[in-house]
Amino acid sequence: MKDLKELKKIEKFADQCMKCGFCSFFCPVYQEEKVETAVARGKNYLTKLAIKGEQEFTPEMAEIIGKCLLCKRCVANCPAKAQIDRVVVGARAQMVKEKGLGFVKNFAFRKVMADRKAFGRYLRLAKAFQWLLPKTEGNIRHLPDFLKALGKGRNIPSLAKTFLRDMVKPVYKPQNGETPKMRVGFFMGCATDFVYPELGLKLIDFLTKRGVEVVVPEAQNCCGAAIYFSGDFETGRYLANANIKAFDDVEYVITACGTCSSTLKDYQKYLPDNEEEQKRYEAFEKKVKDSLEFIINILNVKPEELTLKKEFEGKVATWHDPCHLIRYQNIKDQPRAILKSLKGLKYVEMPNADLCCGMGGSFSVYHYDLTKKIADKKMNGIKATGADIVVTACPGCMINLIDNALRNKMPQKVYHLLELVEG
Ligand code: SF4
Ligand code: SF4
């Protein structure tokens, strides 16, 4: 008899759906595809059949379960609060259990991303050859035809000249020389490490200026978002355990990446196999804070105390809510409070601020055409504001917003909120 271990874990969540179809108004994938299999209700129905042993994980089923951004718009707007994200991830985990990961994901997840040193080596190699990719604008490069499997014509930022891991010290003491208010661990995240290292340095500087001691454990690893959201729970658990160990002796774990913070907080939702693991993951989750949440809610920095950097004076800014901040962590007021109180900056709310940008991690690799259609709606919202700059707090969203703004020939530049703030 088939072992339905991963599916059994999500049965109670699959039973929450009452088939009302309300989610169809909010699901970005359904809004483009208009087929029942695109929406939460359809995915949930098929997964329930799989739980009963009446649906196999055929290539068609894999396509349906794979075509979800995990944006949680369905969950946020569901009258029954059905947790379809858990159902989708659980179905993917069952699929991996039955069919394996396939060569590409197996190599990428287990041989590259799970091995921090190897990941760095591969990207150093890629950096040496990135000059082969034509530049679009500034440090943005263009994926040529021979890399079209990653998204034909996609604009991607250059890899940084020096990776953050090669710049940071293991410990940063408070700049005022006084006894630290608290000791926090800085979690880099891959995009900050390899693409936006200045963001990591900025956060360290910001915190140490305010009396915090920041440690940067070398033993930290990738947060695992793309890995366990793809259903590779085995590698996901390996990364979770490595990160928990690496940040064992700090009060808080802080990151400037919305996807990383939500993933580190999500270990206990998806990965535990037993009660002991559940407790360990839950305890870790309590320590994890996104940078904006930490600055406003823990460090108690008043938004009005913050100063706008000179280069942004007179600009009009709008805010994009990363799914991993607004729906996974309920972080929506902190960035708005900061943006509205920065003197010299005008804030305009965009009409669809909480709409997913279409990235969805590896979703955009497999469904780039769909990503572009979803992103076009986000771009229309940005255009409606007349803003000069788009501000967010997730490097993954930044990469996708930059690509789509360039594709739509829009003038707006994209920034992480920390980049706007002085000191
Ligand atoms: S997921 Fe929620 S909104 Fe969608 S059909 Fe089920 S109960 Fe209704
Ligand atoms: S998580 Fe997002 S993409 Fe997936 S079914 Fe729900 S609304 Fe649709």
CA of 93 to the centre of ligand 1 (A): 22
Which of 27, 31, 364 to mutate to test ligand 2, by most ligand atoms within 8 A of the CB atom?
Answer: 27
CA of 72 to the centre of ligand 2 (A): 6
Q: Give the closest residue to 175 by CA, choosing from 214, 146, 148, 143.
A: 214
CA of 346 to the centre of ligand 1 (A): 38
Q: Give the closest residue to 374 by CA, choosing from 29, 20, 22, 97.
A: 29
CA of 157 to the centre of ligand 1 (A): 38
For position 333, what pLDDT does the model report? 97
Residue nearest to atom 6 of ligand 2 (CA): 74
**How much is the mean pLDDT over the chain?**
93
For position 418, what pLDDT does the model report? 97
What dihedral angle (degrees, nearest 10) is formed by the CA atoms of 234, 236, 239, 244?
A: -110
User: Is residue 254 classed as helix, strand or coil in its secondary structure?
Assistant: strand
Residue nearest to atom 2 of ligand 1 (CA): 78
Atom of ligand 2 at shortest distance to CA of 23?
7
* pLDDT over threshold 70, residue 145: no
CA of 407 to the centre of ligand 2 (A): 24
Mean pLDDT of 24-31: 97
Q: At what angle do helices 275-287 and 258-270 cross, to 10 degrees?
A: 160
Assigned token pair, 52: 């009963």
Beta-strand relationship, 171-172 and 212-215? antiparallel
Q: Give the closest residue to 364 by CA, choosing from 195, 189, 149.
A: 149
Confidence band for 291, pLDDT divided at 50, 70 and 90: very high
Ligand 2 pocket, residue 354 CB under 6 Å = no
CA of 109 to the centre of ligand 2 (A): 23
CA distance 132 to 130: 5
Predicted confidence (pLDDT) per residue in 212-245, tens digit: 999 999 999 999 999 999 999 999 999 999 999 9
CA of 328 to the centre of ligand 1 (A): 18
Mean pLDDT of 353-364: 92
For position 104, what pLDDT does the model report? 87
Which of 37, 70, 77, 367 to mutate to test ligand 2, by most ligand atoms within 8 A of the CB atom?
Answer: 70
Mean pLDDT of 87-100: 95
Atom of ligand 2 at shortest distance to CA of 30?
8
> Residue 265 CB: number of other CB atoms within 10 A?
23
Ligand 1 pocket, residue 21 CB under 6 Å = yes
Confidence band for 273, pLDDT divided at 50, 70 and 90: confident
For position 352, what pLDDT does the model report? 93
Domains of the chain: 5-99 (1.10.1060.10), 164-298 (3.40.50), 303-420 (3.40.50)
Task: List the single range of 8-22, 91-105, 133-147, 387-401 with lowest mean pLDDT.
Answer: 133-147
| Ligand number, closest to the Cα atom of 70 | 2
Ligand 2 pocket, residue 69 CB under 6 Å = yes
Mean pLDDT of 266-291: 93
Task: List the single range of 111-125, 226-240, 311-325, 327-341 with lowest mean pLDDT.
Answer: 111-125
Radius of gyration of the chain (CA): 21
Mean pLDDT of 352-381: 94
For position 146, what pLDDT does the model report? 52
Q: Give the up-direction half-sphere exposure of residue 167: CA atoms within 13 A in the CB hemisphere.
A: 17
Ligand 2 pocket, residue 40 CB under 6 Å = yes
Residue nearest to atom 7 of ligand 1 (CA): 17
For position 314, what pLDDT does the model report? 97
